[in-house]
Amino acid sequence: MDYQSRFDLGIALSKRHEYAAAIQQFQKAQQSPKIRRAAMKLLAEMYDAKGMPEFAARMRKQLSGESGEDSGAVSAPVPTPKHPISPLDSE
């Protein structure tokens, strides 16, 4: 199973409150540079939901120390318009 499929399965399992199984999938999914940060964020959430705040804190600390090179996996950059944008009521 590829990393994206594991990530998607982790999300599905978390929605069913199957946190232990979701954790396993997110741990494997975080090996992909493209979805690493998103998987780590959800791992922290799963640890909290499972009542494991020390693991959640450790994951958040690790996440905050990441360089963010792959942050595009979490959110895309906002595009810059090529032409000036006029207000809607400027007719």
* Per-residue pLDDT, 66: 76
* Per-residue pLDDT, 90: 42
* 3-class secondary structure per residue, the chain: CCHHHHHHHHHHHHHCCCHHHHHHHHHHHCCCCCCHHHHHHHHHHHHHHCCCHHHHHHHHHHHHHCCCCCHHHCCCCCCCCCCCCCCCCCC
* Per-residue pLDDT, 65: 86
* Per-residue pLDDT, 29: 96
C-alpha angle 71-74-80 in degrees, rounded to nearest 5: 75
- Determine the average pLDDT of the residues in 34-54: 94
* Per-residue pLDDT, 81: 52
pTM above 0.75, yes or no: no
Read off the pLDDT of residues 47-85 as tens digits, 9 standing for 90 and up: 999 999 999 999 999 998 876 544 444 444 555 556 554
